[in-house]
Structure 1
Amino acid sequence: MKNQHYPILLALGAVTPVGQTLAAEDGADTQGIEVIEVTARKRVETLQDVPDAVTAFSEADIESARIENVSDFVNLTPNIMFRKTFRAGASYITMRGITGTQQGLPPVTYVVDGVQVGAADFINQDMGEIQRIEVLRGPQGALYGAGAMAGAINVITKQPTQDLSGKFKVQYAEGNDISANGYLSGGVSEDVYGLISVGIRDSDGLINSADGRDMDFNDTRRVKTRWQYLGENLEADLRLGYAKYEQGAVMQDLVPIGSDINSFSTSPKRSFIGKENQEFKDASLKLDYSFDDFTLTWISAYQDAEQDLIGDLDWSEANIFLQDLADNFDVTSHELRVTSNSDSALRWLGGMYYQKRDSFNKLSIRLEPTPGEIGASIFQQTDTKQDTIKAAFAQLNYDITDNVELTLAARYDKVDFSTYRPLTEAVPYLDTKGNPISQLSSSDSEFQPKASISWDITDDTMLYATYAAGFRPGFYNTGSVTKAETTNNYEIGGKSMWWENRLQLNGAIFYIDYSEQQFSTIVPEAPFRAVENIDATKIKGLELEGKLLLTEDLLSTLSYGYTDSEISGGIYEGFSAPVTPKNTFNLGLQYTRDISDWVWSSRIDYRYQGDFFLDRREELNANSVQYLNINTSLEWQEWRFSVFAENLLDEYTITNATFIPADQPLLGVVSGTITAFTPGRQIGASVEYKF
């Protein structure tokens, strides 16, 4: 399954170090590091003025690093990890020792143009045309609400232009991976601008079964459109999107008991190649009306996900069992916010938020009479759920002196959640006395305060200290209620610019007191999934980020994240937080140079990610991994020609693992360790025309 490694010296010798980002966007000083403006605190500020640990990617960064999906920018950020498991929708983010669970809210709130996504299933999609990405580390519940206990990710899509503009790009890569995407933008009147973005992809994939069949194939079709009205006092922003995916699923390997799950020496054996169908629809309308002293903002959004999967359940070449899944979401949300317009010493905002989420989850076990044939169902369980979030929030920023700013923020969230399953199904719900019932309901609520003080020692150096509370509500998973979890977070950090804005250094140290951590596992008996709460976890860590403009053509970036954690109490006593690497390290070089009428730019990014545990069993540990990505391009007028390599070192890593003991086999036939893993190296090229 795994190809021979390229020697690292060959990789470094074949590509010139990649150069600086000196775009004029966001008011950059052309003799220094690009100054990026962010909206982390729901108002426009420069990155260096925000007293939070934030990694921001400008449009130039996104282009040079070929950021096309969530894992691309996560792998450039310290103390964060993204895992795709047995299907695209079952993806998880881990940040600062806090990770996701099946059926629960993600620990990081994911926001696109001001709209919070309703479930983790919406996150792992092609991103389309992106203008900026902001990764906020540390609890952001005071502004972003329930679930943002580890942080938040703001994605800002490309805005329409008044003048006609556009892009068309075609790409080919290993795995017979062919894609084409682009956009067209322009004004239809003096005040109304529009942008339409489309993308298609057909790929055989990089993972093959033992008999040579494609397992991680992908067939994607997407279209997104954005329309803006810019009046004297009123601004309106309408977004519509549709995406359809047909892709490989259940690509796990079944590793025999006692074997090394990190060896990757064999390919998965299959009688049935898994397939997942996903269809996403989304729409949102944002209205901003400016008064003299404040701006009134209204955001309404709708998101719909229809997902079904069929795949092997015995993970072997034998035709025995299949798993038939459905995971559907229907989400509506509304937000009303009032924000002060003044740049005076006192700045404020406040608002209310409402979200309703209806979901349907089905698991069926089917027979496989002959290889590749879908047979009769022998087991089925369904869960119909409804969750509502009602919240109110506020934030005050006050300049105590010219150099000292105090930030006070708070949010109250009330979450009601219920689940329904017919009594006729194989595993009914049970009440507290053990009697079968069809519906369960519960609620959680929490006040999430945040206080921060920052001190501008000089115009280029700032220190800050923050306390914040985090909260993630409970949920139902196959009839079992999972308790809400909370954190108390303490952070000290600093941001600085040196050497005439040619050196940027940011850093933070943090401590988290974590209660009732949610953790999900697979079990060999119906209902096959279990969620538990880990009593108490202590987490401490640090983050360092730096950019150095070595010459006018050469920019170096470096980041380091360290997370040390320990669980106290229960069966995980003494373990570190699950799915949490202790160390992450990033090093990047970007080089840009004019050559006659051409512009040559190259970028190389290195990522080290430490080992982590997936379960308390000693054998369920994922080894450390190193990634090396390279992108080099030549630009001539409106044309760009690029060659790239992702995961050049051809590294694999475990993303999920489930141990099935021999004395408790799944469905009476399966024992061993079921592992999900990342694909290997991919090399490709693209041609782009932009006007």
Structure 2
Amino acid sequence: MLKLTTSVAALAYAALAMSANAQDVAADNKHPVSKAARADEAEIVVTGLKRDQAFVEVPVAVQVFDATAIQRAGITRPQDFLAMTPNVSFQVANHAGEFFVNIRGQTSIRQSEGAVAVVIDGVQLATQNEFNGELFDIQQIEVLKGPQGALYGRNASAGAIVITTKAPTDDFEGQVTAGYGNWNSSRMNGSVSGAIIPGKLRFRASVAFNDTDGPYTNINTGEKPMRSNEKLARLRLDWEAGENTNVDFRLNGSRLLGGAIAYNAQVVGTTIGGVPVTRIDTNDTSLPFTNDVPGRNRQDKFSTSLKIDHDFGFAKLTSVTSYNMISDNYQAKNYPYAGWSYGGNDFVSGALGGIDALVLFGDNTQKFRIANRAFIQELRLTSSNDGPLRWQAGVFFLKSKRRFTTEQGLNGRLPTDGAGNLLPPFSGLVSPITRNLIGGGSILPTRGIDGPETNNGTLNYDDNLYRARNFAPFGNIQYDITDNIEFQGALRYDIERRSIRTLTPDIANPFFGVATGAPQATYNLCVATTGRAAADCHADRTFKQMQPKATLTYKFPGRNGSIYAGYGKSFKSGGFNPIGTRDTLLVSLPNVLVQDSYGKEVADSYEIGFKSLWFNRRVSFNGAAYYTKVSNAQQFEFFPTGGIQSISQIKRTRIQGFEFDINARLTDTLTIFGGYGLADTKIVDIDSQDPVDRADIIGKRVPFAANYNLSAGFQLTQPINDRLDFLLRGDYSRTGSIWYDQRNQPNTKRDPVDLVNARIGLSSDRWELALWSKNLFNEKYNSEAVVILPIAHAVYRAPDRSVGVEAKVKF
């Protein structure tokens, strides 16, 4: 708490000192970093609080990147701008659909709702799966930190990311960008815009394509486990339907084909690809890929939205209607991933008492089929900006469903006699099945249960339908108490009903007691563990939460800065694990904290911050300090022997910290920038009363949250002549340590990671040519780890150095 108190005092002092020293001058329209450093604050507009406001006066910690910043920094994926944002970290792993954004120590996790709302062109995404993809034809990106639930509702407890694509134009224009890099990587995007009916109806069409083999090769099969081929398209129509009515229509679609589940298993005492595993170690990247089952991911996305604005004069009525569909299918070898028949692999583990790791985990495959559908309707009435009181009121409605199917199968078929009859070991142990499998190396494309006579017999199968219905009235006000003091208040009441229905067939599992050690004689987990009839395997819960937010802002004269203080409450809805999950786990894990359902996650956050301009507006310096209490923080847990992916909760956590960012235009051509964020997290309480659990967990750091991050860099835009500029950019980021286990067990912490990116090129008003490198010094690290047992672990390697060339032409 001393750190936080000191930080608050320092931030307040800096803001007060700023009011007496900052001055006004003109802007540099070629600022290469972010709009936070642009001089003319009247040009810097933040839209994330659902009303346009000047950056220097907006009462929220926010990082803003404009189109020039996006181009100069080479931002093509979400991680490119998140890495430059203080107190923001992210996890990239498993497959293209998984991308988790963490802000100020509050985490988004696998199989759960996100903690950060994502809004594109005023339309809130129903799931973060829509977010992870190529960024192209983007006008502005805003990263808002702190609770935004009062404005965006569910899943905005840590913040919001607001993206604005480039708008249609009356004048015909277009651009094409193309690039090539190592790993046989190519990318291209283009857009064209113009008038269909001048002054009335405009269009903008954008497409993008990227293809890469990825950084690594499977030394067993030659497979590129992180390969990816992605195609995207967007159409936007802007129609002035009347003097006071505007219609904005968007259509988006994409398809991605690539690898999946490119993990390395660390099982102490085994050897993978000739490399012995002496201990689990989240920092170890030495193991090669030796998988004998190619991973595969196919992801199809479609979304459409219609936004209608009608201005009544005193207020504007806005209707936002959206619908999206995501199909995400991925599959690969199951833990321990590597092929047992490959000569460089040895799964007999002395640490397991001489037990073969394949006896413990099996020679199995895993397959996931996910289908998301969501409909959103929002209505809001927003007052004009005239007068000291501005207000907004509205309602939000969401209806969604998610079908999630998981399957674990044998990597091959069981042996048969000459007549085709299955031979034992149906009365034996696991090892004969593991070692006597015939064939393998592939996964059947079916969605359903495959028999033991097939080449990929189904060991475990779980099929569930999840539904959600959310209704939320909301309102907010802005009131000028004086010319320099403004109050903002917002209130939202979310009512969300969640349900689960088990769709798994209630049929006998012929592998019961043989290959999996599972307690059920039927594939239906609910029937096997609860005694219910299949028709009764369903449940529902309703979660309600009031989400208030209030801030008080003092704006310094001359529009040179502001200081603000605020409080906000936000939440993530609770939900369900597959029915029967807890009873299944209790067979071998008597102290497991996982339940079949979990409650809502609620966060209370307090914040003080400032924004300031110095030295004739050539320097922007902004900062904030915060204190957050989280109840029932959701955490991901994986149990490979049953193929169970589940959500557990931490009863109470405490997070405190601070952040700042600075941008300085040293000369008309050279800008430097930097930032730092600290997140001091602590587990305060857990649901278990077991003294061992409490001693192991309470007081430990929250998993998946970096304790700090910092970034620094420079951008040089040096004119060569009246038409040509020389471009040079370098940026450095350091992400602090991350624990991947709530017990903070030995060797489950990743050490800090240091990355350097560079870009050099030439540009004119019509074209740009650049050479670039990401991870210039080839830092070796893992982007994620999954803790399974004290002597068993899984790590996902981050890409090593990438280099390439990029060209852009405007017309």
The equivalent of 1:330 in structure 2 is 373
Structure 2 residue 101 is matched with structure 1 residue 93:
yes
Deviations 1:519-545 (A, max 9, x none): 111023435123211111111000101
1:327-476 residue pairs with structure 2 within 5 A? 327-369=370-412, 370-374=439-443, 375-376=455-456, 377-422=458-503, 424=506, 426-429=523-526, 435=532, 437-459=536-558, 460-476=560-576
- CA 1:274–1:30: 2 relative to 1, 3 Å: closer
How much does 1:457 deviate? 3.1
Partner of 2:515: none
* Match status 1:605 vs 2:731: yes
Equivalent position amino acid for 1:318 in 2 = W
Contact 2:35 2:66 in 1 (8 A): no
Query: In the aligned structure 2, how far is the partner of 1:94 from the partner of 1:431?
Result: 37
Q: Is the 8 A contact 1:288 1:297 kept in 2?
A: yes
Provide TM-score, normalisation by structure 1.
Answer: 0.93
Within the alignment, does 1:676 sit opposite 2:796 as a pair?
Answer: yes
- Contact map agreement 1:328 1:359 (CA 8 A) in 2: yes
Q: Residues 33 and 501 of structure 1 are in contact (CA less than 8 Å); yes or no, is this contact kept in structure 2?
A: no
Deviation by residue 1:561-592 (Cα, 9 ceiling, x = unmatched): 00111112233201112111111001020110
In structure 2, stretches of 5+ residues that fail to align are 1-27, 269-278, 342-362, 413-438, 444-454, 507-521, 580-595, 687-692
2:450 corresponds to: none
Give, in angstroms, the shift of residue 547 of structure 1.
Answer: 0.8
User: C-alpha separation between the residues in 2 aligned to 1:431 and 1:54?
Assistant: 50
- Asked whether the 8 Å contact 1:26–1:37 carries over to 2, the reply is no
Amino acid at match of 1:102: R
Q: Which residue of 1 aligns with 2:635?
A: 519
Q: State how far apart, in whole Å, the 2-side matches of 1:315 and 1:359 are.
A: 27
Task: State the Cα distance separating 1:44 from its structure 2 match.
Answer: 1.1
Q: 1:537 to 1:27 in 2, by over 3 A?
A: closer
For residues 209 and 147 of structure 1, what CA distance do their matches in structure 2 show? 38
CA distance in 2, matches of 1:347, 1:288: 18
What residue identity is the alignment partner of 1:255? Q
In structure 2, distance between residues paired with 1:135 and 1:165: 29
Q: Distance in 2 between matches of 1:323 and 1:433?
A: 25
Instruction: Give me the whole-angstrom Cα distance separating, in 1, the residues matched to 2:322 and 2:403.
Output: 20
- Which piece of structure 1 moves more, 632-641 or 393-402? 632-641
Q: Which amino acid aligns with 1:172?
A: Y
Preserved contact between residue 235 and residue 289 of structure 1 (Cα < 8 Å)? yes
Q: Could you say what secondary structure the match of 1:249 adopts?
A: coil
- The answer to whether the 8 Å contact 2:245/2:309 transfers is yes
| More displaced stretch, 436-445 vs 192-201 | 436-445
Superposed CA RMSD in Å reads 2.2
- Map of 2:207 onto structure 1: 198
Q: Which residue of 2 aligns with 1:149?
A: 157
Aligned 1:236-385 pairs, distance under 5 A: 236-257=247-268, 258-313=279-334, 314-318=336-340, 320-369=363-412, 370-374=439-443, 375-376=455-456, 377-385=458-466
Which blocks of at least 5 consecutive residues in structure 1 are unaligned? 1-19, 663-670
Q: Aligned in 2, Cα 1:379/1:228: closer, same or farther, shift over 3 Å?
A: same
- The answer to whether the 8 A contact 1:389-1:413 is kept is yes
Is the contact made by 1:32 and 1:502 (CA closer than 8 Å) also made in structure 2?
no
Contact conserved, 1:602 with 1:633, CA < 8 A, in 2?
yes
2:140 corresponds in structure 1 to 132
2:769 aligned residue: 641
CA distance in 2, matches of 1:30, 1:540: 30
- Does the 8 Å contact 1:32/1:549 carry over to 2? no
CA separation of 1:71 and 1:341: change in aligned 2, threshold 3 A: same
Contact 1:333 1:354 in 2 (8 A): yes
Q: Secondary structure at the match of 2:648?
A: strand
How far does the alpha carbon of each residue in 1:154-201 deviate from its partner, in whole angstroms, 9 at most, with x for none?
011111111111111111011000122101111111211101111122
- Residues 478/90 of structure 1: CA separation in 2 closer, same or farther (3 Å cut): farther
Per-residue deviation, 1:70: 1.0
Partner of 1:539: 655
Write 1 or 2 for the structure with the bigger share of strand.
1
Give distance in 2, aligned partners of 1:41 and 1:428.
Answer: 45
Pick the structure with more helix per residue.
2
Q: 1:342 to 1:558 in 2, by over 3 A?
A: same
In the TM superposition, 1:500-511 aligns within 5 A as 500-511=616-627
TM-score normalized with structure 2 length: 0.79
Aligned partners of 2:765 and 2:102: how far apart in 1?
Answer: 41
- 20-29 vs 541-550, which deviates more? 20-29
* Distance 1:647-1:23 versus aligned 2 partners, 3 A rule: closer
SS for the counterpart of 1:264 is: coil
Which structure's CA Rg is the greater one?
2
Q: What is the deviation of 1:31?
A: 6.7
Distance, in Å, in 1 between the alignment partners of 2:212 and 2:141 is 27
CA offsets, 1:26-59, max 9 Å, x none?
A: 9999877894211021111121111110111111
Asked if structure 2 preserves the Cα contact closer than 8 Å seen for 1:478 and 1:529, the reply is no
Task: Name the counterpart of 1:578.
Answer: 703
Question: Equivalent pairs: percent with the same residue?
Answer: 28
1:587 maps to 712
Distance in 1 between the 2:496 and 2:156 partners?
14
**Residue matched to 2:807:** 687
Q: Tell me the SS of whatever aligns to 1:429.
A: helix
- Whether the aligned pair in 1 keeps the contact of 2:280 and 2:748 (CA below 8 Å) is no
- Contact 1:33 1:503 (C-alpha < 8 Å) held by counterparts: no
Q: 1:384 to 1:482 in 2, by over 3 A?
A: same
Contact 2:36 2:55 survives alignment (8 Å): no
Amino acid corresponding to residue 546 of structure 2 in structure 1: F
**Counterpart amino acid of residue 397 in structure 1:** Q
Q: Which amino acid aligns with 2:89?
A: M
- Show the counterpart of 1:568: 684
SS in 2 for 1:229: strand
Q: Name the structure 1 match of 2:603.
A: 487
Whether 2:615 is the aligned partner of 1:499: answer yes
Q: Shift of the alpha carbon at 1:431?
A: 12
Deviation at 1:652, TM superposition (A): 3.4
